[in-house]
Amino acid sequence: MHPDPWDLYDERYAGLDVCVFPPDDDEKLPAAGTVAWRIAEPDAYDAEEGAFAGTLQVFLDQVATEEVRALVIGCWEQAYDTDSSVIVSMLADNAKRFPALRAIFLGAIQSEEAEISWIQQSDVTPLLTAFPQLERLEVRGGSGLALSPVRHENLRVLRFETGGLPAEVVRAVAASDLPALEHLDLWLGVDDYGGDSTVADLAPILAGDRLPALRHLGLQDSDHQDEIAAAVAAAPIVARLDVLSLAMGTLGDEGAEALLSGQPLGHLKVLDLRHNYVTDPLAERLRAFVGDAELDLEERKERDDWIYVSVAE
């Protein structure tokens, strides 16, 4: 199942049913540790500055936060113009009140509220440093997004959904020591929306020295997908992966040839290449090359004067 770039996670998240906060007037709140909590500003488009901080404070006052296991942060006031720094700071400052927190999704916002490239993010490093027991961090939106290299002993899932992931963030991930990380997704995006990383920035990730537990790697949604495929074809980390995703980008025959000329991929459970520009002959060769691995070549498109990634604006 592929992540939906507009999933609001208002039904399920991190294996838990979701409770939306603030609730309806007559709704009884469930036990805090039995659900994932989705906190969003009900009228974010017209809300005044500081509205979400107020909602989050009410949550802190009304919910037994010491039992909370998962948080989904939805739309805050004017998320296309106001960044997430206050939210990050409030969570980090109150970290001691969330001893059971294991999963955070920051920015579960749909396109009607703000396009993915409009979502104003901030430095999310405090979410990792303040929550050493966190196992899952997912962030949507790349504008203003920042990250510093960290060592985190317990993080298992790290995902960035963007139409343009800043090179600073890619390099920070690459320089981080994440011994428990099993699942890494980077939606790299395009330069027009801030995706200014290069294949060279990915080299430490592809070497895998700081990611000994990694089993799922997604380097996705790039307009340099062929170059990434060429680097992946010889990358040491690939031999221990179960899932490799080069999906959502502009992968074409050049990238397919690079994969075919590289290391064996038959050990993979899944090779995800959906949304691609691979022609029929190369597609057939790829199917034979990966053997029993599940190969996803859906959303194949014809290459013409304009090729595009799946998620940009």
- For residue range 100-121, what is the model confidence (pLDDT) as tens digits? 999 999 999 988 888 999 999 9
The tens digit of pLDDT for each residue in 207-237 reads 999 999 999 999 999 999 999 999 999 999 9
Residues 282 and 271: their CA atoms lie apart, in Å, by: 15
Please state the pTM of the whole predicted model.
0.96
Residues 288 and 286: their CA atoms lie apart, in Å, by: 5
- Which pair of structure tokens corresponds to residue 216? 């799922």
Residue 159 DSSP one-character state: E
Cβ neighbours for 183, distance < 8 A, ≥ 6 positions apart: 156, 157, 158, 159, 214, 215, 216
In the prediction, which pLDDT does 274 show? 98
Could you tell me which CATH number the domain at 147-313 has? 3.80.10.10
- Which pair of structure tokens corresponds to residue 221? 């949604």
Residues 174 and 201: their CA atoms lie apart, in Å, by: 7
Residues 199 and 224: their CA atoms lie apart, in Å, by: 8
Could you count the other beta carbons within 10 Å of the beta carbon of residue 208?
18
**pLDDT tier, 266 (very low <50, low <70, confident <90, very high otherwise):** very high
- Residue 238: pLDDT above 70? yes
Give the closest residue to 52 by CA, choosing from 3, 103, 87, 8. 87
- Residue 1: pLDDT above 60? no
Residue 200 DSSP one-character state: G
For the chain, the average pLDDT equals 95
Give the closest residue to 244 by CA, choosing from 254, 259, 257. 259
CATH 3.80.10.10 boundaries in the chain: 147-313
- Residue 5: pLDDT above 70? no
The tens digit of pLDDT for each residue in 177-205 reads 999 999 999 999 999 999 999 999 999 99
Q: Is the peptide bond before 204 cis (omega within 30 degrees of 0)?
A: no
Backbone angles phi, psi at 63, to 5 degrees: -110, 145
**pLDDT tier, 295 (very low <50, low <70, confident <90, very high otherwise):** very high
